Structure 1
C-alpha cells in the first residue's frame, strides 16, 4: 500500500538526495545494482597483489593472515580546482575530507538543490574515521611539517574537528555545522541530529553522513580469535559460521528536508524518516566494548514511539549485523524485545546486513545502511543479505518476529505503507535507530507547452563539460521515458551555473543524446560566461537627445 501526501506528519523528514563512494561502487546507481545482484565487494588478494601493495612478506606467510579487504577505488583522485583548492592544499588534506567534500556535493546535485540556488540555511552533520593519513603521511614528512607548521597542517583538512565546517565554508552554507563522533554509529547519529535540526528550524536543509578510509589500502589483516575480524574474509551475518566482519572504506551522504517543504517543491523523494532515537548502554553490560540488549532495545522502542508507528507495521530492518557470533544474537534479542512491545506475530519482518556486501565501514557504516534501505523502499525490492546458510544457533528465530532475507525479494507490504528500521551501534555504547517509510506518491508533472526543450550544461573546465555531456547522453538513452521537460528544469534550476556552458535544443531524449555525442557545433552552442559582464545602456534615435 503506497502512502499519499495527505498522510504526512509535521515531523516527517524527506530524504531527497543520496551520494555514495563505496567498495565496488563509485555511485548510488552502481551500489544499488551490486546490492540487487548480491555482489560481494570484499576482495581477496593474491600473493603478488599484496606484495605490490607493500605488505610485509613475513606477514603474508603467517597462518592467521587473512588476505581480504574492502577498499575504496580511486580514493586518492580529487579535483582540487573544482573546490577552489590549490594542489598543495589538496595534497595535505586527508583523503577522508576530500571524499566527503565530493559526496556532499554529489548529494546536493542529486537532490537538485545546489547551495547557490537554495534559500534558507543548510546544515552539515558528519563524522570521519581515524586520521591515519595525517599521522603516517603528513607528520612523517619533516620538511613539510617545518615548512607549513603543525597548526596549519591540522586545520587545513586533517583533524576530525574540521570535516563538517570545511564543507560549509567551501559551499557557503550557513546552517549548523557539527562534527559527530560515536564510532561505528557516527553517520546514523549524525542523521538523527540533522533531523532534529530541521524540526527545530535550525536549518531548512541538511547534509548528514560520514566517511572512513582505511590506510594503507589493498592489504589483509591478522585474525585473532574472539575479536571482530573474520577468519575467512567474509561476513556471515546471522549465520552459524559467523565469526566476524572485514573492515572497509567508503563515504556517503544524504540530503534531508522537511517533508512538507519537499512535497511543496516537487522534490524527488527516496524515503521518509518517520522518527529516530539515540542513547547509550551505560554500564549495564559485560564491558566497555560489549553491546547491550537493553540499551539497543530501548533505542529501537523509542524510535518507534517517536515515529508514531507500531512494530507490526515494519517489514524490514537493516541491522548493524557485524557477523560476530555473540553480537548478532544480542542485536536480534534487542530487536525482539523492542518489537514485542507492540507486535505479537512471528516471522513477519525480514532482516539483513550490508556488511555482508561491503564490509564494515566504521563511521560510514550507518549512512551506507541508510542509503541501502532508502533505495530498497524506492525500488520496492529488498536485496539479499549474503553469506547466510543456516541460522546462528544462538539466535532464536523461531520465536522472534524476524527471518533473514537471503534472496532478492519484491517488497510486499505487511501492513500499511512499506516501512523499515535502520539499526546502528557504536563501540562505547551509543545506539541509533531510524524508522523509514516509503515516499508519498508524487503527482505527475504537467505536460510542457513546448514541443522541444532546451538542455543547459555547465562545468568548470572543457574536459568536465564534455564529461557532463557524455553522462547526460548516457542517462537519456538508458531512461528514454523520462520527461524531457523535467530533465530540462532540473538542469536549469537544480544545478549551479559554472563558467563553461553548453546548450542543446531537442524534441526527444534520443535526439538530445545523439546531438550531445555528435558534438556538431551547428547544433550545440558552447561558450564561456563572463563572471561580471558590463552593462551598456543604448539609446536609439536620431541624436535629438543631444
Structure 2
C-alpha cells in the first residue's frame, strides 16, 4: 500500500500521558510492571463488597465466580484543596471524576502544557466510560438519601467536570461503546484534530467497579475467569477478570507539535471504528468479518501496509471464543505478505492488570506507546498451552512468553491497538514510533548559572516538590540525563506557577540539588548575577517573570517530576470530620472551598446554591427542626452565615 500524500499532515502526536492502574501509579511504574511480568490483580478488598458472602466455586444465581480483580490502591484518595473543593463536595463526588481530574493534570504536565494557557481554547475532552457505580450506590440507600448533589455524578459530568475546571471550550464528550469506549474516544479525538475543530485533545478512559452486579452477571454468562486471571490465547482461558483504570493521553496535530517543540512520545497515523452489523448470530456475538473490516479500514486510513506492523496490543480479554477469533482476524489482515521470519507479536495488558472495560483501550494504548519508546514488547502472562482453536502453523503470529526486542529493520516500528465492545463496536488505532529528536547545536554552558522555579498550591506540597527535584537532580536521578538549561527552561516555561514558590540558582546538577536540599535557603552560588537575583526575588513574591529575558537561549522541554498530590481519603464511611465545638465553624469547615474571614462573600468561598441545599439538610439533621431556605438564600457573607446559624441553633434549642 502506498502512503497517501497527506498522511503526515493527518498524523496525530501523543505528547503526554498519565495513568492510575492496578500496581502502577504512572507510565513509568506501568513499564516496570510489564517488563517484570507482574500480575497486579488481587483479592477483592472489603471496601468494594463482601466477596466472602458472594463467592462460590460453583456459583448459582446471585453469586460471583471469582474472588480476584485488578484494583486501584487509594481509590478514594483526592487532593480536594488543589481543585477548590470542600470536604463535603469531595465526599459526594464520584471518585471516577476525582481521579480523572488528577490524572488529566498529570498528563498535561507530562505534555508540558500549562493549563492556564489552555483556558478559553477549543481544547477537546473525550472520555470513554460505562459505569456510574457511585451514583447507583447512593440511589440504593433509598429515596430519602437522594439529594440534589447526585446531579454531579451523572456520567456526562466526567468530561464536563474536566472542561469546567480547566475552562476548555471545545467538544466535551462521553463515549460509551462498552469495552471499546476509550479507543473510540481516541478515534473521535483524532477526527476532531484533523478537521481543526480542536487544537489539542485530552482523551481518557475511566473505570471503577464499586459493586458486584456486573461480576454476578458475567458469572452467569460464563464470561468471568474463575481464578481471577485473564489468560489471553491460552487453552485454559475461561473468561476475563475485571480491572480498575484511569488513563489520559494528550493529543495534538503532529505538524503543530513539531513546530511548538513538544516532546513526541508516539504518532497516531490512523484509526477506524465499525460495527459488526448482522454478520454474526446475535448482537452480542463477535464477528470475524466485522473485525477484519475495521483492521483494513484503519490501515487504509493510516496509509500503511498491515505487513509493516510489528506489534498489536489485542483486545485480548481471555475469552476462549473471542481470543481465537481476534487472533485469526489479525493473522488474516496483518499476516498477508508478511515475511515468515518476522511474525506479528500480539499481547494483552489485561493479563497484567485485568480487563478495565471501558478504559481497557486507553490502558492498551499507553502500554503500546511505552513498548515503542523502549523498543520492547513484554510477555503476555498466564500462557501455558496455546489455544487449539487457532491454526498457529498457518498464521504468522506470536504471543510473546518473554521480553521481546522489536525488530531493527531500518525504519520506525509500528503497532496497532484493538478494542472490541459488547456493543459490537470494534476500534483499531495505528501507532508508530516518534522520529528521534534531532540534536540541537548549543553553546557551551558549563559553569553558567540557571534559575529553577518551583511552586505548589500549599507549603506541604512545595516541600514535597523540593524533595522530588532533589532526588531527580541527584547523582542517580533521571535529571542527570538532561542539560540543566533544559530542566530549568521546562520548569519555567512548561509548568503552571502556583502561589507557594521558591527559586534557586545554580550552575550544575549537584549544586542545584544541594540548594534544594536546603529548601531554597541557599541560592546555590555565592555570587548570583543581578538579573537572576532580581528574577528570584520577583518570583518568590508572586510576580510574573520574563523567562525569555532571564533564560536567554531557549531550552528544550524535558520530563520533570510531577505535582506532589496532597491527598486525603474522601468516602461516605465515617471518615468525614465529626462535628466538634461551634456548629457554625463546623459548617464552614465542611463547605468552604478557600480560606475566609467574616467579610468574605459566600460566593467567593465556594458556598453556592448547591452547597446551601446541603447546609439546609445538615442543619435540619443537627437541630432536629426544619430550616427556612429563604433566610439562608438572603445571606451574603461568612459573618452573616455564622450569625444566622448560631441564631437558628438557639431558636431550636
| Alpha-carbon distance in structure 2 between the residues aligned to 1:258 and 1:90 | 35
| Alpha-carbon distance in structure 1 between the residues aligned to 2:252 and 2:426 | 23
Aligned match of 1:11: 10
Unaligned runs of 5+ in 1: 1-5, 534-546
| Alpha-carbon distance in structure 1 between the residues aligned to 2:142 and 2:245 | 26
Aligned match of 1:183: 178
Give 1:172's match in structure 2, choosing from 167, 170, 178. 167
Alpha-carbon displacement from aligned partner over 1:195-241 (angstroms, at most 9, x marks no partner):
11111000111011110001149x98798476221122211101111
Alpha-carbon displacement from aligned partner over 1:386-424 (angstroms, at most 9, x marks no partner):
111221000112111211112111212457320001001
Report if aligned partners of 2:313, 2:416 keep a CA contact under 8 Å in 1.
Answer: yes
Aligned match of 1:540: none
Aligned match of 1:121: 122
1:457 matched to 2:454? The reply is: yes
1:262 matched to 2:257? The reply is: yes
Q: Which moved more, 1:349-358 or 1:498-507?
A: 498-507
| Alpha-carbon distance in structure 1 between the residues aligned to 2:291 and 2:388 | 21
Aligned match of 2:245: 250
| Alpha-carbon distance in structure 1 between the residues aligned to 2:277 and 2:305 | 26
Q: CA deviation at 1:57?
A: 4.0
SS in structure 1 of the partner of residue 454 of structure 2: strand
| Alpha-carbon distance in structure 2 between the residues aligned to 1:446 and 1:377 | 27
Larger strand share, 1 or 2: 1
SS in structure 2 of the partner of residue 81 of structure 1: coil
| Alpha-carbon distance in structure 1 between the residues aligned to 2:130 and 2:423 | 15
TM-score, normalised to structure 2, is 0.75
Q: CA deviation at 1:135?
A: 1.4
Aligned match of 2:33: 34
1:470 matched to 2:467? The reply is: yes
Distance 1:444 1:153, change over 3 A: same
Q: For 1:40-59, what aligned pairs fall within 5 Å after superposition? A: 40-44=39-43, 55=50, 57-59=52-54
Report if aligned partners of 1:347, 1:397 keep a CA contact under 8 Å in 2.
Answer: no
Q: CA deviation at 1:515?
A: 2.4
SS in structure 1 of the partner of residue 333 of structure 2: helix
Q: CA deviation at 1:124?
A: 0.7
Q: CA deviation at 1:118?
A: 4.3
Aligned match of 2:508: 508
Alpha-carbon displacement from aligned partner over 1:354-390 (angstroms, at most 9, x marks no partner):
0000000011100000000001101111111111122
| Alpha-carbon distance in structure 1 between the residues aligned to 2:42 and 2:215 | 10
Distance 1:144 1:79, change over 3 A: farther
Q: For 1:373-412, what aligned pairs fall within 5 Å after superposition? A: 373-412=368-407
SS in structure 1 of the partner of residue 373 of structure 2: helix
Aligned match of 2:193: 198
Q: Which has the larger radius of gyration?
A: 2
TM-score, normalised to structure 1, is 0.89
Report if aligned partners of 2:344, 2:398 keep a CA contact under 8 Å in 1.
Answer: yes
Report if aligned partners of 1:380, 1:410 keep a CA contact under 8 Å in 2.
Answer: yes
Report if aligned partners of 2:412, 2:435 keep a CA contact under 8 Å in 1.
Answer: no
Q: CA deviation at 1:335?
A: 1.4
Aligned match of 1:295: 290
Report if aligned partners of 1:346, 1:398 keep a CA contact under 8 Å in 2.
Answer: no
Distance 1:529 1:213, change over 3 A: farther
Aligned match of 2:416: 421
Q: For 1:301-316, what aligned pairs fall within 5 Å after superposition? A: 301-316=296-311
Q: Which moved more, 1:320-329 or 1:505-514?
A: 505-514
Q: CA deviation at 1:261?
A: 1.0
Q: 1 or 2 for the larger relative contact order (CA 8 Å, sep ≥6)?
A: 1
Aligned match of 1:81: 81
1:134 matched to 2:135? The reply is: yes
Alpha-carbon displacement from aligned partner over 1:135-187 (angstroms, at most 9, x marks no partner):
11366275653xx42xx422x2x111111121111001122211111110111
Report if aligned partners of 1:422, 1:433 keep a CA contact under 8 Å in 2.
Answer: yes
Q: CA deviation at 1:85?
A: 2.1
Q: Which moved more, 1:31-40 or 1:520-529?
A: 520-529
1:159 matched to 2:158? The reply is: no
Distance 1:275 1:289, change over 3 A: same
Unaligned runs of 5+ in 2: 60-64, 525-535, 546-653
